[in-house]
Every structure is written in structure tokens, then in C-alpha cells.
A and B are shown apart, each in its own frame.
Chain A
């Protein structure tokens, strides 16, 4: 089954404790992206990757890092989380290469930073 898998689904942690949210897709997609969803703001892009070792900032990259060492994985790293990063996070993927295909979304990760 084609899917985008995120882990963990829920996490409560404290300010400053490094954390990683994993994202994996099994569709051999080139394009992957992270979004955060906040009430009244919709979804905003954090980082994206157009292929292995190719990543770039989205609209709200501050406080986040990403890596793309393998095609299937695109982890989101919070080196020193802060309360304003409490949010619902979604990973998405698509074939990329301007093939005009919609993005598939993961189930989301709800992060609470205390």
C-alpha cells in the first residue's frame, strides 16, 4: 500500500531537548516536504527536498533542520525545541520532476513542547 509514514504520532517533551520526527515513503517519490498546521493559519511549509541531498527552506524554517540521505526518508530535526514549535506536523511526498501529481500526506505528528 502506498503510504507516507510518520513517527511518532504524538510527543510531549520539554524545551531544549533535541528531537527527531521521522518520515518515510514507499512510493519512490523524489519530492518530499514538511508542513506545520496551526489553528487559523492553515498549513505552512517548513522545508522541502527535491531529491537526495537536495533540500531547501520553505516559509517557516527557523528552528528546524532536515536531511535527505536516502530517497525514502526525510527526517525533521528540532535541535533545541521551544514552546512556539508546539504544532501538528505533516510530511508529504510526490513524484516530483514537475509531473503534476498531487502530494500524499502522512498521518501527522502532534508535538507539544513544554
Chain B
């Protein structure tokens, strides 16, 4: 069975600081990897995704993530955060065939201090 670990439960940063949120997964086969963001009171929005190819993927709002297969990791990064990045961030994986069930991590709450 798939599982996803997000070790940072709550991260507090000042504006302009650099961000890295950790995500590790366990699964024996090929996976698709995602980062979703949930702003307060809103639905999940896709930040970026990895299906295959270049392991460094760029998403919306200046976010990027790197897939390191040997470490089963897909960490999210942003060089300079803004107050508007305050939200909850979820890493998720699914298998490319059959049930496309997304297995989510427990989420990381990010608070940016102006």
C-alpha cells in the first residue's frame, strides 16, 4: 500500500525567506507525484505534478519540486515566500493505472509573517 509522510506539521517563516517542505512516499512501483495547496476555506488546488521525465518540476506561483527516486522524496521549494503563500500544503501520490486514488500526506500548515 502507498503511504506519504510530511514531517513538517507547521512551518512559520518571514516574508522573503526560502521554503522547503519535505515529502517522502513509500510504494513499490511507478508513481505520479503531486503537491496541492489549500488556502483557508477553499478547495485543493494543484501546485505541480510529476509523471515522468525531468525530475525537477516547476509549478504555479513560483513553486518547484524535485523528485529524487533513490530517496523516495518529492520536496517542495520556493526561493522567496510571500504572505499570500499562507496555506496548507499536501503532498500526494497515486499509481498511474486503475484506481487513481490519491494517497495524501497529513499536510503542512505554512504561516508567513509579514
Interface residues of A (CB under 8 A from B): 31, 33, 35, 40-45, 48, 50, 56, 58-59, 90, 92, 94, 96, 98, 100, 102-103, 105-108
Q: How far is B105's CA from A102's CA once the two chains are assembled, in angstroms? A: 17
Chain B positions 40-81 with a Cβ under 8 Å from a chain A Cβ: 42-46, 49, 51
The DSSP consensus for interface residues of chain B is loop
Q: Which residues of B contact A50 (CB under 8 A)?
A: 99
**Max chain B Cβ within 10 angstroms of own Cβ: one of A48, A94, A100:** A100
Q: Does residue B106 face the partner (Cβ distance < 8 Å to A)?
A: yes
**Max chain B Cβ within 10 angstroms of own Cβ: one of A31, A96, A105:** A105
Chain A residue nearest to B94 in the complex (CB): A103
Question: A107 near B102 (CB under 8 angstroms)?
Answer: no
Question: A108 near B43 (CB under 8 angstroms)?
Answer: yes
Number of interface residues of B (CB under 8 A): 24
Supply 28 A–B pairs (Cβ within 8 Å), ascending by A.
Answer: A33-B100, A33-B101, A33-B102, A42-B90, A42-B105, A42-B107, A44-B104, A48-B100, A58-B99, A59-B101, A90-B43, A90-B44, A96-B100, A98-B96, A98-B97, A98-B98, A100-B32, A100-B96, A102-B34, A103-B100, A103-B102, A105-B36, A105-B43, A105-B44, A105-B45, A106-B43, A107-B42, A108-B43
Interface residues of B (CB under 8 A from A): 4, 32, 34, 36, 42-46, 49, 51, 90, 92, 96-102, 104-107
Chain A residue nearest to B99 in the complex (CB): A48
